[in-house]
Every structure is written in C-alpha cells, then in structure tokens.
Amino acid sequence: MTHSIYLFRKILYNFDLYKNIVLKGNTMHIEPGMVDATKIALSYATASASILAIAKISYDSIKITTLLSFLGKSLLASFMVFIFFEVFPHYPVGVSEVHLIMGSTLFLLFGVAPASIGLIVGLLAQGLLFAPFDLPQYGMNITTLIVPLVAISYLAKKVIPQDVPYTQLEYAQVLKLSLAYQSGIVLWVAFWALYGQGFALTNLVSIASFGSAYMLVVIIEPLADLALLALAKAYKNNFSSSLFIEKRLYNRG
C-alpha cells in the first residue's frame, strides 16, 4: 500500500499536480495541533458513532434501492468530495480553512448515506495521498462533516413537502438546508477549537473570524444547488431512470 501511494504521488508530481496542490500546504479542516494527543481520543469516539449511524442508514438505503445503486452513488460522491477539497478554492481563516464542501449538493444529488460515504472516503483519500500530516485530525473532520449532513436529512423532511421532488425546490428551501449544514460545521469546528485550546481571547477571535468567513459559503452554495437542480430538471429524460442519483430528485417522497 505504501509503495502504491508513493508511485501515485510520483506520477502526479511528474504532471505538476502534486507540486501545485500539495506543496501549497493544503489541509482538511481541523488544523494539526489544535487538539493534542492527550485529548484526541474524543474525536475517535465521535467519529465512530457517526460512522455507525451512517452504516445503519446505508443498510436501510440498500434495502430500498440496490447495492449497485448505493455503490455507484457513493463512488460519484467520493470523487466529487475529492474535487471539492483538492481543486476548489480554499483559504486558511482563523482556526481552520474555508472550503466549498457543497454538503447540501451531495445530499440532494445522492442522498444522505452515499453523500456521507463520499465524505468519509474522499477525506481519507486526501489524507493518504496529499496530506498525511492531517490524518490524526481525521476523526474530528469526519464528525464535523457527517453530523450536520445527517441533521439536514431530517431538516429536509420538515421543510420539503412530500409531494415536491428536489428538482422543484425553491431558493428559500435550498437556503435553509445550506445554512443548517454550514452552521453545523462552524459549531463543530468551534467545539474542537475550544476543547483543544480553551477560552483564550486569541482563540475566541480566531473562531469568530473563521465562523464569519465560513458563513459566506451560504451565499454561494444555494445558487450552485439551484443551478445543478435546474440542469437535472432540463435533462430529466436522460437521468430520471438512473441508478446513480437520488430517486427523490425527480420523484415525490
């Protein structure tokens, strides 16, 4: 495995991708050292609980659809997550980095379980291939991204009527999902920062600056969601019967 990863990095380096991405100091979400080794066990517990919850949701999803459908959607979600984190713009602000994670987009296109698998696999691939120094923070990152995603899956049942396919959503409905997801991420990052570094003024200021910057994503994500939903609606005849998209995209709940 180590030899394979080395060869993959060497290939990327020869095509300048590794130099352009990795050597810029790219990271995931939680900065290394924010939570030291004496406290980091909590992140293993929260990540394990998150993964167990997703395993249960995944099992239920496979029973409703098929294993092939689930695997296909999970693979597509994983690829998209990898692109979101490695190719899309990301900037260090305060205690972490501001990314276009597009969590609500993944949820609407693939459903909560495949989207969650995509985040888990995509983050792991990023850590193994590009940022091994971030792997100790993997549990925190998984918790930070998965828990809000599960939360918006329940929120969607409240704000989206059963007889409305996702391709017919309005801006206000998409905004609620995006706002809830991004707020959940900010709250979890704030929790890890306070848990690891305490309530020092500099830490509080860093948390506030990160939160303020991150919520700007809420301006972009709903527009991206609506654009993708409009595209899906325009190509309904091509994709409505596909195994590799969320059935609710075109059908009632």
Count the Cβ atoms, other than its own, within 10 Å of residue 76: 18
Number of domains in the chain: 1
Q: What are phi and psi of 28, to 5 degrees?
A: -85, -105
Residue 30 inside a domain? The answer is no
Domain presence at residue 27: no
Q: Tokens in use for 237? A: 């005849």
* 20 found inside a domain: no
C-alpha distance from residue 175 to each of 182, 186, 194 (Å):
10, 16, 28
Q: What is the CATH number of the domain that holds 62?
A: 1.10.1760.20
Q: The tokens 């309904």 sit on which residue?
A: 236
Place of tokens 């290939």: 11
Q: Which residue has the higher pLDDT, 95 or 172?
A: 172
Other CB atoms within a 10 A radius of the CB of residue 126 amount to 24
Question: Which DSSP letter does residue 97 get?
Answer: E
pLDDT at 22 over 90: no
In a domain, residue 231? The reply is yes
Residues 236 and 251: their CA atoms lie apart, in Å, by: 11
| Domain-embedded: residue 4 | no
CA angle 117, 119, 125 (to 5 degrees): 100
Tell whether 17 is covered by a domain.
Answer: no
- Across 150-178, average pLDDT: 94
Look at the chain and count its residues: 253
Q: In the prediction, which pLDDT does 2 show? A: 52
Say whether pLDDT at 81 is over 80. Answer: yes
Which tokens is 67 given?
A: 């294993």
Higher confidence at residue 193 or residue 19? 193
**What one-character DSSP code corresponds to residue 218?**
H
Q: What is the DSSP letter of 65?
A: S
CA distance 225 to 231: 10
* Per-residue model confidence (pLDDT) at position 212: 87
Confirm whether 6 is domain-assigned: no
- Indicate if the pLDDT at residue 201 is higher than 90: yes
Q: What's the domain range around 55?
A: 37-249
Amino acid 16: pLDDT: 43
Q: What is the mean pLDDT of the chain?
A: 86
- Look at residue 50 and tell me if it is in a domain: yes
